[in-house]
Amino acid sequence: MAIVRYTAGRKLTPEELAARKARMEAAAKRPYTYDPDCPLLTEEQLAEFRPVNFDSMEERAQHMKKMGIVDPEVQHALAMASG
């Protein structure tokens, strides 16, 4: 499979858009390959997932602190942002 690189701010050419569409359509037609290390989830397991979206990094950090989760990158970024 080819490596696809993304360059921020650059629009894709019509040829690149067509190639991307062709790759996506080909991928959608490939059969599922069972992986014993990552079995399919049951309907009950899928039902346990909840979306986690935050409006800001501060809101995310507050929620993580409340849940007892520490993310050093976020802590560092917040410290740098607050001066």
Residue 72's pLDDT is what?
A: 66
Q: What is the pLDDT of residue 15?
A: 94
Least confident of 6-10, 17-21, 37-41: 6-10
Q: What is the pLDDT of residues 24-81, one digit of tens each?
A: 999 999 998 888 898 889 999 999 887 778 888 888 888 888 888 776 676 677 677 7
Q: Given this model, what pLDDT does residue 74 score? A: 63
The tokens of 68 are what? 């007892």
Amino acid 68: pLDDT: 80
Query: Vertex 57, ends 56 and 61: CA angle to 5°?
Result: 125
Per-residue pLDDT at 7 exceeds 80: no
Asked if residues 20 and 12 have their Cβ atoms less than 8 Å apart, the reply is yes
Q: Amino acid identity of 61? A: A
Q: Write down the residue that tokens 């602190």 correspond to.
A: 65
DSSP-H helix ranges across the chain = 14-29, 43-47, 57-67, 72-82
Whether residue 61 contacts residue 78, with contact meaning beta carbons closer than 8 Å, is answered with yes
Q: What is the pTM of this model?
A: 0.37
